[in-house]
Amino acid sequence: MIAYYNGQFLESDKIQISPFDRGFQFADGAYEVVRYYPNKFFEFDAHMERLKYSLSQLDISSVNIERFQEIFVELIQKNELFDQSSIGYIQITRGVQFPRRHSPDPVISPTIFMYVEKLSPNKETHANGVTVGLGEDIRWIRCDIKSISLLANILTKKGAVDKGVYEIVWSRNGFITEGTHTNVAFVKNNVVITPPLNSFILAGITRKVVLKLCDELKLQHEERNISVEELNTMDECFLMATTSEITPVVKIASSTFRTGAPGKVTMLLQKEFQKNIHRNKLM
């Protein structure tokens, strides 16, 4: 695989990253995952805006984001993924610093790593839905930053895999936040309800597209706090993410949604989301 590392396209196994990189030492960096549907990156500008936000919050400067689309297109070409559904990954760390100190040295320059990987939509989970568990949100309170420090997400996702569920949906102080790698929405009496944007969740790009589709479809939607107790009253649930797209949830912990099958509003949004991908490609 050809990847990009600090200005060069290299075979990924030839890339050497310093053990004194602050990403390796402290998880001091940010990342993005973008989706490539032949032949265009989906919502690329929105992902870059979020990356700029993450970097600004981490006070990492001097990164030339303007070149990233070009680099990704070149990666797609070099890896012959032109006609394949894929993801693009970008990781930016604060850079290499020796001796190891918590306080960042202001003169170091960021490390940039990017690669692309083939990833097909999961037809089975999209059609039949998934089961998810519930858990206490054990993360810090700046979940609006797409930081590479993902230990809480990893431990919780490992718990999900061990339990045989697709995802864990977290709550903080009794209110739903999001999943380990997904945003979450519910449907109640045909109203789409999702937690509001604040520092407890990531401002998902898929979530943003879903809310725009709700407007287009004249589906009522609310961004508001959802208590764990309220879950029993919901008719439908779905997950939203770049990799998961719109994935129906048929069971969350002990609450089986009324039908025990993907809900009809969820499936309508899923269908419109696929149409939107095609529209997006033509723009």
3-state class of 270 per DSSP?
helix
Q: What single letter denotes the amino acid at residue 7?
A: G
Size of the site for ligand PDD (CB under 6 A): 15
Minimum gap (Å) between residue 99 Cβ and ligand PDD:
33
Contact 189, 235 (CB under 8 A): yes
Cβ neighbours around 152 below 10 Å, total: 16
Minimum gap (Å) between residue 154 Cβ and ligand PDD:
11
Distance CA 61, CA 180 (A): 27
Contact pick of 79, 147, 194, 206 for ligand PDD (by CB under 6 A): 206
**Would you say 194 or 244 has its CB closer to ligand PDD?**
244
Build a one-symbol-per-residue string for 167-186: x at contacts with ligand PDD by CB under 6 A, - elsewhere: -----------x--xxx---
Contact pick of 129, 204, 248, 263 for ligand PDD (by CB under 6 A): 204
Distance CA 135, CA 270 (A): 26
Contact pick of 48, 205, 219, 234 for ligand PDD (by CB under 6 A): 205
Q: Is residue 58 at the binding interface for ligand PDD, with CB under 6 A as the rule?
A: no
**Would you say 54 or 244 has its CB closer to ligand PDD?**
244
Minimum gap (Å) between residue 17 Cβ and ligand PDD:
21
Contact pick of 18, 69, 91, 243 for ligand PDD (by CB under 6 A): 243
Active site residues: 146
Among candidate residues 87, 63, 48, the one with its CA nearest the CA of residue 205: 48
Among candidate residues 237, 270, 269, the one with its CA nearest the CA of residue 253: 237
Minimum gap (Å) between residue 270 Cβ and ligand PDD:
14
Contact 44, 34 (CB under 8 A): yes
Minimum gap (Å) between residue 181 Cβ and ligand PDD:
4
Distance CA 89, CA 254 (A): 35
Distance CA 134, CA 254 (A): 9
Instruction: Return the range that interacts with ligand PDD (CB under 6 A); candidates 13-21, 55-63, 72-80, 197-205.
Output: 197-205
Contact pick of 145, 234, 240, 269 for ligand PDD (by CB under 6 A): 240
3-state class of 142 per DSSP?
coil
Contact pick of 33, 48, 193, 226 for ligand PDD (by CB under 6 A): 33
Contact 74, 9 (CB under 8 A): yes
- Bridge partners, residue 111, by sequence: 93
* Site residues (vs ligand PDD, CB under 6 A): 33, 178, 181-183, 202, 204-207, 240-244
